[in-house]
């Protein structure tokens, strides 16, 4: 139960402050999600917040 950021990420940084578990960090060349701490916002929100703010979420943020 985790998400990952693909190479389709445009590095806008919108997802970074939205993660309630601080699982997103700046990577090289794209942002990364720590699968050990990502809970897909369960217990915090109704849906993953990173996907809700990502302009390319359909291809950039997927199930790990």
- Rounded Cα distance, 11 and 36, in Å: 22
Residue, of 20 and 1, whose pLDDT is higher: 20
Report whether 3 contacts 51 (CB < 8 A): yes
Of residues 12, 10, 23, 11, the one with CA closest to residue 49: 23
How high is the pLDDT of residue 9? 98
Is the confidence at residue 7, as pLDDT, over 90?
yes
CATH architecture of 3-63: 2-Layer Sandwich (3.30)
User: To the nearest whole number, what is the mean pLDDT of the chain?
Assistant: 97
Is the confidence at residue 1, as pLDDT, over 90?
no
Is the confidence at residue 57, as pLDDT, over 90?
yes
Report the chain's terminal Cα–Cα distance, integer Å. Answer: 7
Is the confidence at residue 23, as pLDDT, over 90?
yes
Q: Where are the domains of the chain?
A: 3-63
């Amino acid at each position: 139960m985790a998400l990952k950021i693909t190479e389709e990420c445009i590095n806008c940084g919108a997802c970074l402050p939205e993660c309630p578990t601080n699982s997103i960090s700046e990577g090289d060349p794209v942002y990364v999600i720590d699968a050990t701490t990502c809970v897909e916002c369960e217990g915090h929100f109704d849906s993953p917040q990173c996907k809700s703010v990502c302009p390319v979420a359909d291809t950039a943020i997927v199930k790990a």
